[in-house]
Amino acid sequence: MLKGANIPVSARGVRVELGWRTGAGVPDVDASALLLVSGRVRSDADFVFYNQPAHASGAVRHEGKSGPDGTGGPVTDVLAVDLAGVEPEVEQIVLAASADGGDFGHVPGLCIRVIDADGGAELARYESTDATVETAFVLGDLYRRNGGWKFRAVGQGYESGLAGLATDYGITVDEPAAQEPVVARPAVAEPAAAVAPAPPVQPVGPVRPVRLTKVTLTKESPTISLTKDVGATGGVMRVNLNWTTRTGKTDDTRAGRWALGRPRKAPGHAAAALDLDLCVLYELTDGSKGVVQALQGFGSLHEPPYIQLDADDRTGARAEGENLTINLDHADAFRRLLVFVVIYEGASDFGDLNATVTLQSRGAAPIEFALDECTVPARTCALALLTQEDGDLLVRREAQFLVNRPGISMQQTADEAYGWGLNWTPAVK
427 confidence band (pLDDT: 50, 70, 90): low
Per-residue buried b or exposed e for 148-170, using 16+ beta carbons within 10 Å of the residue's own CB: ebbbbbbbbbbbbbbbbbbbbbb
Asked whether the CA dihedral 296, 236, 212, 116 is positive or negative, the reply is: positive
**Greater pLDDT, 53 or 398:** 398
**Greater pLDDT, 378 or 254:** 378
Amino acid (one-letter) located at 6: N
pLDDT of residue 66: 75
- Give yes or no for a contact between 236 and 328, defined as CB atoms under 8 angstroms apart: yes
**Greater pLDDT, 200 or 20:** 20
Q: Tell me the percentage of the chain whose pLDDT exceeds 90.
A: 49
First to last CA, the chain: 47
Asked whether the CA dihedral 183, 188, 190, 192 is positive or negative, the reply is: negative
Question: Mind listing the pLDDT tens digit for each residue in 169-184?
Answer: 999 886 544 333 333 3
Question: Mind listing the pLDDT tens digit for each residue in 350-364?
Answer: 887 878 888 887 667
**How many helices (H) and strands (E) are present in the chain, helices listed first?**
3, 27
pLDDT of residue 101: 81
Residue 222 predicted with pLDDT over 80: yes
**Greater pLDDT, 397 or 355:** 397
- Give yes or no for a contact between 260 and 422, defined as CB atoms under 8 angstroms apart: yes
Give me the phi and psi of 71, to 5 degrees please. -105, 0
**Greater pLDDT, 380 or 257:** 380
Beta carbons within 8 Å of 192's beta carbon, 6+ residues apart = 4, 6, 152
Query: How many residues make up the chain in this entry?
Result: 429
Residue 224 predicted with pLDDT over 50: yes
Comparing CA positions, the residue from 42, 51, 48 lying closest to residue 16 is 48
pLDDT of residue 246: 58
pLDDT of residue 264: 34
Three-state secondary structure string covering 190-233: CHHHCCCCCCCCCCCCCCCCECCCCEECCCCCCEEEHHHHHCCC
pLDDT of residue 312: 53
pLDDT of residue 311: 63
Cα dihedral 136/140/142/148 (nearest 10): 170
- Give yes or no for a contact between 42 and 204, defined as CB atoms under 8 angstroms apart: yes
CA–CA separation, 1 and 249 (whole Å): 37
**Greater pLDDT, 118 or 256:** 118
Question: Mind listing the pLDDT tens digit for each residue in 115-131?
Answer: 999 989 999 999 999 99
| Average pLDDT value for the chain | 81
Residues 385-400, mean pLDDT to the nearest whole number: 91
**Greater pLDDT, 240 or 295:** 240
pLDDT of residue 206: 41
Collapsing DSSP to helix, strand or coil, 309 comes out as: strand
Paired sense of beta strands 215-216 and 367-370, if any: parallel
401 confidence band (pLDDT: 50, 70, 90): very high
Per-residue buried b or exposed e for 7-39, using 16+ beta carbons within 10 Å of the residue's own CB: eebebebbbbbbbbbbeeebbbbbbbbbbbbeb
Residue 190 predicted with pLDDT over 70: no
71 confidence band (pLDDT: 50, 70, 90): low
Rg (C-alpha) for the chain, rounded Å, is: 23
Residue 365 predicted with pLDDT over 70: yes
CA–CA separation, 27 and 102 (whole Å): 5
Phi-psi domain of 72 (left: phi exceeds 0; alpha: psi -120 through 50; beta: other): left
pLDDT of residue 166: 92
pLDDT of residue 258: 42
